[in-house]
Structure 1
Amino acid sequence: MKKILSLIIVVFFIGCKGDETKEIETVSAPENDSIADDNIISDAILGEEEVEFNLGEANRLAELPLGCIETEYPNKLGQTLENEEALGTPKELHPAFYGCFDWHSSVHAHWSLVSLLKQFPDLEKEEAIREKLKNSLSAENILAEVDYFKRPQSESYERTYGWAWLLKLAEELKTWEDPLAKELDANLQPLTDLVVQRYLDFFPKLNYPIRVGEHSNTAFGMSFAYDFAQSTEDQKLMDAISKRARDFYLSDDNCPVNWEPGGYDFLSPCLQEVDIMLRILPKNAFNLWINDFMPDLKNEDFTMEVGEVSDRTDGKLVHLDGLNFSRAWVFYHLANKYPEDFGHLRSLASEHVSYSFPNLVGDTYEGGHWLGSFAIYALEAASKE
């Protein structure tokens, strides 16, 4: 089956290359005049309950990134020191993205603020958010970030998880019709260009995919980068990702989902692979592929127990809350794109959101500095029905 499918894909890709780029839509903002205080952007049905992604909830979620993007310590730098002069405080090294414990969490905290403000322009702290974004994402700060990435020992810095979130932030800015977004996007562009080039340089050298439930997962890094490439019509980046995703995953069968989750997972190795293939394969090819890879997803009785967190003060164990959100957004993506085959997964997605959502605000910094971004992205996916 896989050899036949490979031939089908090659023929289709050569003959209809342009069509596959239309397979997934980027998230776009609602019209400003359609948003009121009690407007519901998304209703995620959570078993017996319902989470309303409305202005009140958005105000609550905004407190998480607002509370950490200027919080310098505690901090995990994750750097390789090439010499004594490479030492510095987080703010000295990363004037744009020094808060929220680590670089990538700071990046997706900024994405969270942009995303929330884009959807809910009447946020209570709208002025403060705009000011903080303008201060963080100044042209000067971004050029300093570029300089850091160009250090001799930083070629693999934040590869590819942080790269993916940087492109998600850039995508959000580029698709937001607001004067501030245009200014910040222009400031961010040198770092955006650098990260795109890092992707183009890295993927041809990567001989094998990384199938884990944490930051280095290849499929996750591909998915967000593909969204960016599609929204900006960067055909070169789309082609590079599409080629390597086929190389890595097209022949995969029977993903061992019963091995999941791992104790520290915040991504599902199986479902992240589904997520990238959902983006790059046309419908018939995806249908053939999923029948070999995870056929049970089409079963209306398919279920998957939520990842249970035993201690939310433990920075690794709380990863499982993130797993619940990332599983949910893949289920929503499937249900949204092919409701006839996967519509039943919406309820399973909502069960996963339901378990972890109540613990976001007011919990420990171990989860509070990053989990809001995962929740927002999952709720955005839920709203696309």
Structure 2
Amino acid sequence: MKRFFLVLICLVIFSCKGDKAKETEINETDNDSLDVEGLLPEGLAVSEPVILDLEEANKLVELPLSCINTEYPNKLGQTLENKEALGEPHELHPAFYGCFDWHSSVHAHWSLVSLLKQFPKIERKEAIREALQNSLSAQNIQGEIKYFERKESGSFERTYGWAWLLKLQEELNTWEDPMGQELSGNLQPLTDLIVQKYIQFLPKLNYPIRVGEHTNTAFGLTMAYDYAETTKNEKLLETLKKRAQDFYLKDDDCPVTWEPGGYDFLSPCLSEIDIMRRVLPKNAFSLWVDDFMPQLKNKDFEMEVAEVSDRTDGKLVHLDGLNFSRAWIFYGLAKQYPDNFGHLKSLANEHIAYSFPNVVGDSYEGGHWLGTFAIYALQEAQINVKK
């Protein structure tokens, strides 16, 4: 009966296009220190948080700055239609050729924008601005579009890289800086192409992809949803809401004890929760969680951090990324619904505390992407509070 009631609620809400989530501003009195304290119910213990301050930002920014122009080693992920399709990474991807693969290059650029916005006094600010202008020129973006328009590139970076491209565009759109607006304009044609790809592809996807790596459907929906909400792209929003409910609304008893997989950097169960907290109103989401993962509401809920045995192995180091992605989902839940999920903030702190010390100075296998995951987790701890 509860499941029937939940589905009925969602159908009514979706037909009315739903209630838009209201955002609560956080007073930012000091952009040189962003911490993860706040908003837990009184009396609830919190693990010591990791603080992203200017000193740490100065260290973290070296990771994307050093990798966006590092062309080799490189994993192209390319399907060749003929021998003429061969080319060096910078020829195929004039904007996003570094950082080992295309999606890592995209989110490395996101990292640069995010850190510069959060810390205007960052030491390498001029180097950041120069790097962004060089990469995100109108000419380079047209080169990226040309690649996506190739016959065999229809599924290229679907939907993980697509999601990070929209996240980069969202970060540029909300940057009140003339250069940010210029680069946003340069990137917009590629963004529009990716949006269209989402709208065309999602209705054809009959079943969601429930894995802990790149192709996870829930992750791709979540970042696209944030972009669509920020830019008020109603067509994309409606597509994402409908498909998320089609895919996940009837899910029960997610086998979270099966996690993590050995190569996971995303949690299949938590990624699903992350999109559903966005597309469902409070009461419907609460009912859905009661069926999907009820233990999450337990104040004594525990989830052990994922342990990494070898950080020089490009697959095994994924588990550091899993700790960061779990953390940003826990922070999001705790911020949005502190009464039910405030206790998860302490768990998020534990996950970050385990993996954060290993980000700077890590081998290239992890260093080319883990900084982004750390930055995003700490950013989610501070912003996007919704009621």
| TM-score for the superposition, normalised by structure 2 | 0.94
Measure, in 2, the Cα distance between the counterparts of 1:43 and 1:280: 25
Measure, in 1, the Cα distance between the counterparts of 2:30 and 2:134: 27
Partner AA of 2:271 in structure 1: Q
Cα deviations across residues 120-154 of structure 1 (Å, max 9, x unaligned)? 11110000100000000000000000000000000
In structure 1, the residue corresponding to 2:314 is in which secondary structure? coil
Measure, in 2, the Cα distance between the counterparts of 1:197 and 1:290: 31
In structure 1, the residue corresponding to 2:50 is in which secondary structure? strand
Consecutive aligned runs of 4 or more in structure 1 exceeding 6 Å deviation = 28-31, 44-48
Per the TM alignment, residue 29 of structure 1 is displaced from its structure 2 partner at its CA by 10
Measure, in 2, the Cα distance between the counterparts of 1:327 and 1:128: 32
Cα deviations across residues 68-104 of structure 1 (Å, max 9, x unaligned)? 0000000000000000110000001001000000000
Residue equivalent to 1:109: 108
Residue equivalent to 1:255: 254
Partner AA of 1:68 in structure 2: C
Residue equivalent to 2:41: none
Measure, in 2, the Cα distance between the counterparts of 1:35 and 1:60: 19
Partner AA of 1:372 in structure 2: G
Q: Is 1:11 paired with 2:4?
A: no
Measure, in 1, the Cα distance between the counterparts of 2:346 and 2:12: 37
Listed as ranges, the matches of 1:1-385 within 5 Å are: 1-15=2-16, 17-19=17-19, 21-22=20-21, 34-35=29-30, 39-43=32-36, 49-384=48-383
Measure, in 1, the Cα distance between the counterparts of 2:335 and 2:186: 34
Measure, in 1, the Cα distance between the counterparts of 2:104 and 2:27: 26
How many residue pairs get aligned? The number is 377
- In structure 1, runs of 5+ residues without a counterpart are none
Contact 2:47 2:347 in 1 (8 A): no
Contact 1:165 1:224 in 2 (8 A): yes
Partner AA of 1:278 in structure 2: R
- Residues 24 and 374 of structure 1, relative CA distance in 2, 3 Å threshold: farther
The structure, 1 or 2, with the larger RCO (C-alpha pairs under 8 Å, 6+ apart) is 2
Per the TM alignment, residue 22 of structure 1 is displaced from its structure 2 partner at its CA by 1.9
Contact 1:47 1:351 in 2 (8 A): no
Measure, in 2, the Cα distance between the counterparts of 1:30 and 1:179: 24
Measure, in 2, the Cα distance between the counterparts of 1:63 and 1:142: 24
Partner AA of 2:347 in structure 1: L
Measure, in 2, the Cα distance between the counterparts of 1:349 and 1:230: 25
- In structure 2, runs of 5+ residues without a counterpart are 39-44
Measure, in 1, the Cα distance between the counterparts of 2:22 and 2:256: 25
Partner AA of 1:41 in structure 2: L
Measure, in 1, the Cα distance between the counterparts of 2:180 and 2:235: 25
Per the TM alignment, residue 43 of structure 1 is displaced from its structure 2 partner at its CA by 3.6
In structure 1, the residue corresponding to 2:127 is in which secondary structure? helix
In structure 2, the residue corresponding to 1:51 is in which secondary structure? coil
Residue equivalent to 2:42: none
Measure, in 1, the Cα distance between the counterparts of 2:330 and 2:137: 37
Cα deviations across residues 31-78 of structure 1 (Å, max 9, x unaligned)? 7xx546xx3212469976542211111111101101100000000000
Contact 1:40 1:54 in 2 (8 A): yes
Partner AA of 1:191 in structure 2: L
Cα deviations across residues 175-221 of structure 1 (Å, max 9, x unaligned)? 11100110000000110000000000000000000000000000000
| TM-score for the superposition, normalised by structure 1 | 0.95
Per the TM alignment, residue 13 of structure 1 is displaced from its structure 2 partner at its CA by 2.2
Per the TM alignment, residue 5 of structure 1 is displaced from its structure 2 partner at its CA by 1.0
- Residues 115 and 360 of structure 1, relative CA distance in 2, 3 Å threshold: same
Partner AA of 1:194 in structure 2: L
Measure, in 1, the Cα distance between the counterparts of 2:27 and 2:318: 31
